């Protein structure tokens, strides 16, 4: 009797592990499947755009971003830089480049969320039709602002541009796989969800939101994954995000090992903390209000960072293999093997559709080492969780 109970418990656990792999596989398959081209809609006017760029000590790197933003902005658009608690000449560089500049001084309340709130309050006297948020160190593809504004106009809700991060110069396998992981989440999975008619999460940069919807939520917080928070707040208010190829923003991962680890720690800890806090809330709201799209968003959020998920699957494979060898049912092992195959297939699909131009195929062979190499980051989540916003070190200068 005890063995039977343990077998059924193991099967239940294996099914729980299978669900995220199946979900991610479906997303990535939908993302790379050929899509029927839609005839572009021609409209006489599009909403005005205000591009808000929060910047903390970005004097050495912000000018290329501003040049790209100002080139892409239309005659009725604005580019606003929020120089947030800067100790360098970020405000001066931004003003000389031609952007509007808002200087914010509040060392007790630091973080991107506070900076964005300051930028929106600056815009309130003459509000735009659409607010686009981009980071101070990204590249903006031509036509991005016009494309995002028209997509917001057509869709009537938040729109996320395709977002990828390239490996740094002289990248190693770890950097390549970080870039692949980001492309899987920021491009493949978001694109797949949109093609399936489901909402996606917002990605931090390249976010376009109608002004009235943006003002309906609170941004003033020190949340270390403020972009994810913004998307969830908007979804609870009934405004679901979609990903659009009409806009594209790119960046480069930090090159230094310490900076890269710090950035990954912030992302991973922020994501895991958000899962624990928000998934139950979203599920309850979806059931209470009978909102299927909100339930789909909860399922998307519930997928842990893929490296973390891969570690759990790897450990489970070992445990179920030992259990099967000891005479217990091999059904759980078969289920987790299927989950492993689906997860690997999803990553390969994402690589083929969105990252093969900058991630060599041989990097895929290092996925197990990459995933298990992140165990210290996940261990710190249990004993010393990162909760404060920390600026990522850029190439060429140090953390403040």
pLDDT given at position 397 = 36
Percent of the chain with pLDDT over 90: 58
pLDDT digits (tens, 9 = 90+) for 310-324: 889 999 999 999 988
pLDDT given at position 398 = 32
Q: Which residues of 64-99 are buried (b: 16+ CB within 10 A; e: fewer)?
A: ebbebbeebbeeebbbbbbbbbbebebbebbeebeb
With 50 as the cut, is the pLDDT of residue 46 above it?
yes
Decide if 344 is inside a domain: yes
CB atoms within 10 A of CB 381: 17
Q: How confident is the model at residue 110 (pLDDT cuts 50, 70, 90)?
A: confident
For the chain, how many structural domains are there in total?
2
Q: Are residues 64 and 194 in the same domain?
A: yes
With 50 as the cut, is the pLDDT of residue 344 above it?
yes
Question: Tokens for 68?
Answer: 């790209």
Q: Are residues 202 and 252 in the same domain?
A: yes
pLDDT digits (tens, 9 = 90+) for 277-303: 888 999 999 999 999 999 999 999 888
Decide if 143 is inside a domain: yes
pTM of the model: 0.86
Domain finish residue from 242, 257, 272: 257
Q: Domain holding 105: CATH number?
A: 3.90.550.10
pLDDT digits (tens, 9 = 90+) for 75-95: 999 999 999 999 999 999 999
337 Cα distance to chain centroid: 28
With 50 as the cut, is the pLDDT of residue 396 above it?
no
Decide if 272 is inside a domain: no
Decide if 104 is inside a domain: yes
Task: Yes or no: say if 324 and 5 are a contact pair by the CB < 8 Å rule.
Answer: no
What mean pLDDT comes out for the span 189-206? Answer: 92
Q: Which residue has the tokens 């978001």?
A: 190
pLDDT given at position 356 = 94
Decide if 393 is inside a domain: no
Q: Are residues 21 and 81 in the same domain?
A: no
How far apart, in whole angstroms, are the C-alpha atoms of residue 311 and residue 321? 15
Decide if 229 is inside a domain: yes
What mean pLDDT comes out for the span 332-345? Answer: 95
How far apart, in whole angstroms, are the C-alpha atoms of residue 312 and residue 319? 11
Ranges of beta strands (E only) in the chain are 49-55, 78-84, 100-104, 130-133, 139-140, 159-166, 207-210, 242-252
Ranges of beta strands (E only) in 259-343 are none
Note down the domain range covering 19.
2-32+281-383
Decide if 398 is inside a domain: no
Q: Are residues 232 and 185 in the same domain?
A: yes
Which residues, including other chains, have CB under 8 Å from residue 248's CB and lie 6 or more apart?
140, 141, 144, 161, 162, 163, 206
Q: Are residues 66 and 147 in the same domain?
A: yes
């Amino acid at each position: 009797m005890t063995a039977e109970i343990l077998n059924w418990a193991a099967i239940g656990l294996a099914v729980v592990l299978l669900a995220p792999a199946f979900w991610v596989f479906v997303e990535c398959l939908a993302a790379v499947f050929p899509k029927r081209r839609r005839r572009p809609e021609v409209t006489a006017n599009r909403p005005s755009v205000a591009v808000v760029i929060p910047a903390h000590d970005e004097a050495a790197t912000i000018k290329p971003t501003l040049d790209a933003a100002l080139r892409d902005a239309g005659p009725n658009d604005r580019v606003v830089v929020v120089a947030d608690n800067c100790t360098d000449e970020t405000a001066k560089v931004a003003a000389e480049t031609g952007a509007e500049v808002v200087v914010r001084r509040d060392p007790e309340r630091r973080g991107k969320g506070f900076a964005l709130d300051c930028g929106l309050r600056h815009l309130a006297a003459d509000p735009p039709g659409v607010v686009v948020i981009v980071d101070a160190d990204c590249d903006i593809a031509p036509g991005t602002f016009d494309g995002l504004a028209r997509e917001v106009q057509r869709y009537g809700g938040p729109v996320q541009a395709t977002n990828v991060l390239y490996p740094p110069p002289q990248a190693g396998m770890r950097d390549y796989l970080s870039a692949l992981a980001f492309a899987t989440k920021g491009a493949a999975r978001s694109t797949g969800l949109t093609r399936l008619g489901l909402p996606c999460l917002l990605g931090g940069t390249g976010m376009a939101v109608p002004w009235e919807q943006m003002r309906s939520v609170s941004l003033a917080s020190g949340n270390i994954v403020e972009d994810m928070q913004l998307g969830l707040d908007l979804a609870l208010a009934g405004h679901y995000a979609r990903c659009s190829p009409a806009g594209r923003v790119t960046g480069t991962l930090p090159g230094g090992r310490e900076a890269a680890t710090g950035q990954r720690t912030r992302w991973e800890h922020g994501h895991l903390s958000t899962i624990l806090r928000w998934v139950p809330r979203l599920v309850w709201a979806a059931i209470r209000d009978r909102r299927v799209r909100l339930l789909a968003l909860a399922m998307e959020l519930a997928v842990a960072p893929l490296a973390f998920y891969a570690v759990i699957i790897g450990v489970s494979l070992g445990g179920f293999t030992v259990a099967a060898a000891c005479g217990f049912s091999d059904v759980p092992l078969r289920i987790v093997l299927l989950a492993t195959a689906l997860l690997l297939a999803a990553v390969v699909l994402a690589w083929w559709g969105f990252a093969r131009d900058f991630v060599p195929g041989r990097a895929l062979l290092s996925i197990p080492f990459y995933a298990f190499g992140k165990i210290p980051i996940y261990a710190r989540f249990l004993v010393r969780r990162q909760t404060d916003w920390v600026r990522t070190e850029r190439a060429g200068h140090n953390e403040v």
